[in-house]
Amino acid sequence: MNEGQQLAAIMFTDIVGYTALMGKDVELGLDLIRKNRQIHKPLIEKYGGTWLKEMGDGTLASFTSAIDAVNCAIEIQQRAQLELSAKIRIGIHLGDVLFENKDVFGDGVNIASRIQSIADPGGIYISESIYEAIRARSETEAIFIGDLRLKNVDHLIKTYYLKSEGLPIPSINKLKSLRKGSERQSKKKLLISTLFFLVILLTAFSWWYAGRPEDSKIQAIAVLPVENLSQNLDEEWLQKGIHHELIDALGNIEEIRVIGKTSMMKYLNSTMTIPEIARELNVDGIIEASFFKQDTSIRIRVRLIQAEPDERQLWTEVYENSMSNVPGVYSAVARSIAGEINISLNVDDEQRLSKNTDIDPEAYEAYLRGLYYAENLTPESLDRALVYFEKALSIEPNYALAYVGKAWVWGAYIQQGIKSRNIAGPKAKEAADNALRLDSELVDIHRLRAIRYTWAEFNWEQAEKAFHKTFEIDPNNAFALAYYSHFLSFMGQAEEGLVYGEKATTIDPLNVLYQALHGMALKNARKYDKALSWLKNMLVKNPNEAVAMPALWAVLHEQHKYDEAIEMALKIYERRQDQEIIDILEARYSQDGYKKTMQRIAETMVLRRKKSFYSADQICTMYARAGMRDETIIWLDSAYQKHGPNMPYISVDPLFDFVRKEPEFKDLMLKLGLKDHIIE
């Protein structure tokens, strides 16, 4: 690289959310940096650029050609979408810079850095100098944003965003915000030049405004558990119902990230401060709500609080209503908060918030009581939930959400082994179909259909459509995101699936199920070290999590860490209070070794099937861990005949790699409709 003053295209990149990730998991953060470097360096070299330096999670490179810099940036984003678990921003500027001692200095570097800082996650912003250099030579479209005032740049910069397949398009609200900021700065200069008094006033205002942190805008919100001021112990159903409905209403707004219900229940009666909660959840806005109910009247008070840099109330409202009008309050709250934080509702947002909320108060109460009991998943609670949903429908026969509740209960009966699929399956389908007949935009039904098509019917085409419809209605549906990550792995896209799983854990960060599902996905993507670290970390906080424990056992098995695998197996069967399996694990492992112990467990399960419930999936897994080919194939076929919900995983689970080329295994893959996974 020649030293001295030169004209160069400077490309600045940065990983979005890297600081927060490092705060949670240093190992994952460092691995992200390594993968980011592995993407950047070869591509910069490919396009004739020079890798200058790495600054934390940012990279700086120079190119002699603007078109090469742009093409390099586009390919970096394409690779990042496939290979990184985070998104990156890219800014490019063409200008005079000074190269000295293998480093680069000058306004050109600062401008590229500032352009990068305002780019969308996954996007590329460029200056006019780059635009002028490429407009006749590139097929990529550049869209003018405006003359923008960038931090520490003393003149306006004409800025563009690149429009290409896979690159995000800035929201209307963001474009307005960027343009408004620059217009404000220009008007301020005009006023300064005309009147001394306004110079003093506006300078003071500008100093205050510029001193605010750049991230003070509310982009992510957490709704704290609702406080019951009426102190009626029989109103817990209403307390939870209002909380859930507020979260759902805010979740209808695409530009707001809303923390999920499960994560928020941790903060019921919490002594943590607002800033402490905000930092733990990585949000900048907190909503507090309370209610007072008397007979058929209710008063709901809602407050929006900005957590950082200083805790302050941004908005509050009190809603006095009868119970029959409560459903309309949630949409009103969502609209008010969107307006307060300068988010313009798009057509889809408005449509979701404008649904008919005129529900009979008795039907609404029955529905909320049904939701309350449905969460517990015990046979008694599910039975009570079904009674309440039926009551709601007897009052309001066209109450779509009550049908959703019924579909959920019948599905839970199957999931918990309370009722057979033959009995509960048709009931769940009938309720779901009725709900969709009444309201085709019910996200809960579409996501439940996606689950049914994937794990019950093995209908991949319909499952894909149901998942896509879910995301069309609610792009931030954490439940669907978590399970879609597994669906993609069945389709041979395990790496892409990890992105969705990680997003689910961001939206609902304390939801242990979503965390465990992501750990499973890491294991199935053969990222054993990451899976091990992820699952061990979550089990420190949730030592008895039912999905994470078997997932960790599976990882330890793949890494041949048999001592640790046996320790985890003991914890699992102690939790299940299965003394005979515990005795085998304690007595046989030291004498016979790991594989013989797995064989003995499998044989014991077969012998005890008439007295105790062991699924074909469980027996098959034990034989596979024992490395027994014939028995594994036999019990895999048995699991398929019984339509075992774990069958889709055989397409991706490394446990079955040793039988993957066997003719019988290939036949099973064909029956499952997963012929693309067959290894010849």
Reported as a single tens digit per residue, the pLDDT across 452-485 is 899 888 999 999 999 999 998 888 889 999 999 9
Indicate whether 397 pLDDT > 90.
yes
State the burial class of residue 679 (Cβ atoms within 10 Å of its Cβ: 0-12, 13-18, 19+).
exposed
**Mean pLDDT score, 616-621:** 91
Q: Mean pLDDT throughout 614-643? A: 93
- pTM > 0.75: yes or no: no
Q: Check if the beta carbon of residue 604 is closer than 8 Å to that of residue 614.
A: no
> Tens of pLDDT along 188-235?
454 444 444 444 444 444 443 444 444 447 888 999 998 888 766 677
> Is the pLDDT assigned to residue 110 strictly greater than 60?
yes
> What was the pLDDT predicted at 292?
87
pLDDT at 356: 57
User: How do residues 307-328 score in pLDDT, each as one tens digit?
Assistant: 877 788 888 888 887 777 777 8
How are beta strands 285-294 and 220-223 bridged, if at all?
Answer: parallel
DSSP labels, 612-649: S---HHHHHHHHHHTT-HHHHHHHHHHHHHTT-TTGGG
Residue 282 reports pLDDT greater than 70: yes
Phi-psi region of 308 (alpha: psi -120 to 50; beta: other; left: phi over 0): beta
pLDDT at position 95: 82
More confident residue, 680 or 580: 580
Q: Considering the chain, what is the average pLDDT of its residues? A: 85
pLDDT > 70 in the chain, percent: 91
pLDDT of residue 645: 82
Q: Which helix (H) or strand (E) holds 568?
A: helix 562-575
Q: 141-148 and 103-105: which strand pairing?
A: unpaired
Q: Quick check: 66 and 9 in contact, CB under 8 A?
A: yes
Contact 568, 588 (CB under 8 A): no
More confident residue, 136 or 465: 465
**Cβ atoms 508, 636 nearer than 8 A:** no
Residue ranges of alpha helices (H) inside 326-420 are 326-340, 347-353, 361-374, 379-395, 400-415
Spatial separation of the C-alpha atoms in residues 177 and 156, rounded to whole Å: 15
Overall average pLDDT of the 497-516 stretch = 89
* Upper half-sphere CA count for residue 575 (Cβ side, 13 Å): 13
CA distance 587 to 581: 10
3-state helix/strand/coil string of 26-59 = HHHHHHHHHHHHHHHHHHHHHCCCEEEEEECCEE
Residue 503 CB contacts under 8 Å (≥ 6 apart), including other chains = 476, 478, 481
Residue holding tokens 């959703």? 404
Show the CA angle centred on residue 340, arms to residues 337 and 342, nearest 5°.
Answer: 110
Burial string for 14-38 (b: 16+ CB within 10 Å, else e) reads: bbbebeebbeeeeebbebbbebbee
Separation CA 282–CA 117 (nearest Å): 19
pLDDT in tens, 54-89: 877 889 998 888 889 999 999 999 999 888 888 899
Instruction: Please name the amino acid found at residue 398.
Output: N
β-strands 124-127, 141-148: how paired? Answer: unpaired
Average pLDDT over residues 507-534: 92
Structure tokens, 550: 């078997």
